[in-house]
A = this chain, B = another copy of it.
Amino acid sequence: MVEVNKSDGQPEAGMALIIPNSNGNKKDEVSLPDLSRRMQEFATARNWDQFHSPRNLLLALVGEVGELSEIFQWRGEVPKGLPGWSAGDKEHLGEELSDVLLYLVRLSDICGIDLGQAALRKIRKNGIKYPVEKCKVSSNKYTAYQ
């Protein structure tokens, strides 16, 4: 278990994650296995493991993707960085993005998939599928690549 230190000086079990990096500095980076453990503890403490079957979790994920979409549905095109969005809108967005992530992490865990390692493999595979040189010169034909 990693060391936990809160900026208010109060240790709080499992809610903040501070990892010393290779230079010995503290780094505040949330890991996928950490989220997985928290979700497991959360479910076990509430007797919810019984409900966390793969297809139940998948449908819950789809439900959260729907809520995420609702945030963007009537806005027309939205620029990067969300200029003009209120702090409340951004907080709401952060919550819906998180809900998708948390069910995705839980679904992976229940299926026995190491999501973080799978993601690294997928990035590597994508790198081979979309070679830099070929993509760069054809960036106006992006759709042909994805």
Contacts and interface: CB of A to CB of B under 8 A. Distances in A.
A22 B81 CA distance: 34
Give the interface SS of chain A, mostly helix, strand, loop or mixed: helix
Interface residues on A, range: 35 or more
Nearest to A22: B3
A119 B106 CA distance: 13
A21 B18 CA distance: 9
Contacts of A33: 29-30
Contacts of A82: 54, 111-112
Given A29-B33, A67-B63, A142-B74, A21 B2 contact: yes
B119 A80 contact: no
